[in-house]
Structure 1
Amino acid sequence: MSDPNTVAQQPGAVLRGAVDLSALRNRPAEGQEGAPADGQAMSLVMDVTDQMFPQVLEFSRRVPVVVDLWAEWCGPCKQLSPILEKVVTELAGRVVLAKVDVDANPQLAQAFRAQSIPMVVALVAGQPVPLFTGAVPEQQVRDVFAQLLQVAQQNGVTGTVPVADSEQPADAAEPAEPELPPLHAEAYAAIEAGDYPRAIAAYEKALAESPRDAEAAAGLAQVRLLDRVQGADLQTARAAAASAPLDVDAQFAVADLDVSGGHVDDAFGRLLELFAALPSTERGRVRERLLELFGLVGDSDPRVLDARRRLASLLF
């Protein structure tokens, strides 16, 4: 399988390297049953515990597993979970949903570094593919799942699981993959080919035609980040930023790598410090980059909310 820590292999992922499941991979199952045998019907939505997680990892070699990290007290989780279940059911066995109560399963929450929930991560051939955090619209979930199926296919995970009759969707006879708008499809194809400038152009055209296209805006921010970090070396970038603390481009380079590596707070802190240190006439670019990264991480993410408050205090 391709390296799961390569963002280019994961359209839509912005938490590269943020998940380490090695501590859980070989855990004994303590009486839990393993993954269903080939041909055995199973539930498409299952509750997963720390103890049974090794079986889930193994099962992800047959079919992509989407992990929903949630908690009973989490309002956005209750908004998102029904959407995830609906989309998984419509895919009729091409994807399985594993629900993890972070309060009851702290080891899994720690392994996935679930700093905020809901957090949604996929497993493909035993490897994590971070997807998104926060409650997102149904269409965005469909788009992300379409990307996930593409990533799974690239890595040879193309199986399906037999579905219990009670979980068959009403239109199970035609389990069509979610259709993408033409420019979105063009952008995804370009991302798969590693042609980020073409993907950027497709998203920009989509936004020109429909300025309120939230999916295109999110996709544009993601692919711009992919383009900026491609081939970048973190140590070299950090050294350049340390030697020139007011060099906007040098600080941007480290912030981009931090976001792509899951160190969101570090990236926001770096750019907010830069914003505060610059003359007011030079702050515009930093503010624009912060707003772009806020949208990329998700407006409902607590880290974004905190950074927005800090930025507002610096502005006013």
Structure 2
Amino acid sequence: MTGPTFTFSPGLSAATPAATPAAGGDAVRETTTRDFMKDVIEASAEVPVLVDFWAEWCGPCKQLAPVIEKVVRAAKGKVKLVKMNIDHHPEVADQLGIRSIPAVIAFKGGQPVDGFMGAVPESQVKTFIDKLTAGAAPSPVDQLVAEGEAALAAKDLQTASQYFSAVLQQEPDNLAAILGLADVCVTAGEFAEAKELLASVPPAAAKDPRIAALEARMALAEQSAGLGDVIELEARITRDPNDHQARFDLALGLAGKNHRNEAVDQLIEIFRRDRTWNDDGARKQLLTFFEAWGVKDAATLYGRRRLSSVLFS
């Protein structure tokens, strides 16, 4: 739905005392007729603002409230929700011609642009908000996470740690920041700290596949940390190219140093020379690498191509 342009008459400017922000921070708050201009019209110049018109006696309003609040909070700053009790503050609803509640009107740039009525399901609320925020700039928290991930990719662990820590100060349950900081710890060899961070993951996110991938990479890093020196292992292989244990350990050491393609090459060479060695150990370790690195990682794709070429040659 699209609402009309409207203005407020001077008589409404001091109708009631100011509202107190609702629990949960600035993303969700109550408003009054007096504060509607600040909370909705002016605020919508920065991000879209949803106005939920409701009343205590309205059963569907009570059904919609937790749903829309959940989706708005999950948007992490890309949209705000302002709630207005029409029994206490009827003037705005009257100006908008609202005759049935719950009614949700979306404002952008100071104007009503869309809306819906009734206790719609969560999926419909999410679709509504996704459409409303399409093309919107990332939230400040999302920007911090992106900066941290960029620093981590560049191996700037100190800067990455600072960004992820800043996010966790604002949102202690932010999964991307928890995993990012844990990744920093794994890369730095601080495995105890990484495990402590992973233990703090909210239960609802415990099955996120990124957690298993990071745990696999940490196990790999821990395993490679106790191996012999790479140069020594290479010397053993030079003396005896069929020293598969040395080649296997070298692959783990290379992977631990993030030389992924080289690690793949060593395991492929074992597999090419003796597929049965250590109960198919080379191929199994390759699969462990792939799980730790992720299906889209360049080294995983490289390894799968190399493995296929040997299997089907």
Class of the TM-score when normalised by the shorter of the 2 chains: 0.3 to 0.5
Over alpha carbons, which structure has the higher Rg? 2
- Greater RCO, CA 8 A, separation 6+: 1
Q: TM (normalized to structure 2)?
A: 0.41
